[in-house]
Amino acid sequence: MEQLILIIGLLFATVLAVGLGDKLRLPYPVIMLIMAGALTFIPGFPDLSIDPELILPIFLPPLLFATAQKSSWSVFRVRWRTLLLLAVALVVVSTAVVAGAAWILIPSVGIPAAVALGAMCAPPDPVAVESIAGRVHMPRRLVTVLQSEGLFNDAAAIVIFQAAVASAMDGQTFGPGVLGSFLVGAALAIAVGMLMGWVTAAITKIITSSTARSAVTLIVPFGAYILAEEVHASGVIAVVVTALEIKRLARAEDATERITRAAFWDVVELLATGLAFGLVGLEVREVIRMEGADIWAMLPLAISVSVLVILVRLLWFSLMALFSRRGGGSLPPTSFKDVIILSWCGMRGLATLALALALPTVLPSGEAFPGRHEIIVAACAVLLTTLVLPGLTLPWLMRVLKATDDGVQEREATKLMACRAQEAAVAALRDHAMMANLPPEKTAWLKSKMRRLRVDLLQENLGTGDEVERRRRGRELVIAAQTIALDAARTEVLLARNEADTDPEVADKVLRQLDLRTMIMPD
């Protein structure tokens, strides 16, 4: 019962942290981590014990799915070089640098254990980055880079970690074979994700309840993750691909479902994020308690690894900006401001904690796993340094660099999307035979509403209208006709969303506003 009470308490604390974060203009995950860590100092505070092997399967699927829904395949087609450089190459380089430092500072730790530490500290957390970046009005082009990096870097880090631990436990050779394992696992994961996306689309066509359809999307991420892991593929990649496929296969007429699903996933993401970072706070405190006074002797390694992680990221983005400017590229980073902001947003989180806790206690021979205590302390130090410090100072940094997004670019993109939607709606009315059955005054009214669709979509406060308006003769025909028009508008936006030069979040915003439109026939 204590465990259940603690979980409910963390969920309630999440709601309070959101309110406090709004007041202080600070990201609520960081506040949640600090609050949870502080609570553990209360005498008699219960421990929340979760099997380390369950941390990633419980939290990663819903959080990755929620983040991936804000992207699209077109983003990856445009940014595939950035994706490889950050989600794979930067993870490998960070792992190598940290492993080298750990092996030099503590030679007895061994190369496999040092590599395991590097893999723990390498991947930034997409959930932490998303929740923090969104609250400081970071430019969309930078947020997109961070999202693209965060969706796949866990996969590379987990493969390296598993290979390093296997080498330490069984004496297997640790070398280039890891690349082959990663590529095979990624290919299988993509197949699993495609399959799950198709299955989900087929199920939602059969189910008529929009609430039940939304519930399916909560189950699917776990199914994709578990199925991928069972066939020795990457559960992380499978979940991301599943989310992207579901968005790609979305139908224009599923307006009610999209509204229900968006509200549903906003709640799931908020509570799951708060619970996850609350767990991080509890576990960090537990590590400090277990190590006791010995933790002071481990600080040199912890500090060195924390500094190296930040420096490697800073140097990597600096090189990317240099080559981008020399090659005339337009994708960030392209300036000093981009480099500083992207480097400062390398927050570690759930994956780092889960991998640290998943480290074996003893070897098959019965000996203690080499350097386990030092590795866990170093990983927790990196987590706290890269999460709490940037999380609390990023709003200040954005103001100093004058890099806060003024929203002009997004507004212009929204205007273009709204124009496309209106043109599609007007064309659908003009070409459909149903219009011939409408009275002239109804036809004129409907066409007038559709010609004002662009203006309506750009309004800040959109209402849903009076859905209980009394029925009149011809109302069914009006509703049917406007449904055709709005479906055409949604189809156009969905097509635009998959184009290379379209910001998927702008398209989602316009699509959400289209879904909310309810045209009511006047008296």
What was the pLDDT predicted at 502? Answer: 75
Kindly state the tokens that stand for 149: 């990096």
Residue 175 banded pLDDT, cuts 50, 70, 90 = low
Query: pLDDT tens digit string along 228-253?
Result: 989 988 888 899 899 989 888 877 76
Query: pLDDT tens digit string along 43-81?
Result: 777 776 677 677 778 888 888 888 788 778 877 777 788
Max Cα-Cα span within the chain: 87
Q: Could you check whether the bond before residue 126 is cis, i.e. omega within 30 degrees of 0?
A: no
3-class DSSP state of 250: coil
First-residue to last-residue Cα distance in the chain: 58
Closest CA to 309 of 346, 277, 278: 346
Overall pTM > 0.75: no
For 522, half-sphere exposure in the C-beta direction (CA atoms, 13 angstrom radius) is 8
> For the residues 156-169, what does the mean pLDDT come to?
84
CA dihedral 367, 122, 90, 319 (to 10 degrees): -120
Q: 3-state secondary structure string, 334-350? A: CCHHHHHHHHHCCCCCH
The H or E element spanning position 256 is: helix 255-291
Q: Which of 9-13, 148-152, 255-259, 422-426 has the lowest mean pLDDT?
A: 255-259
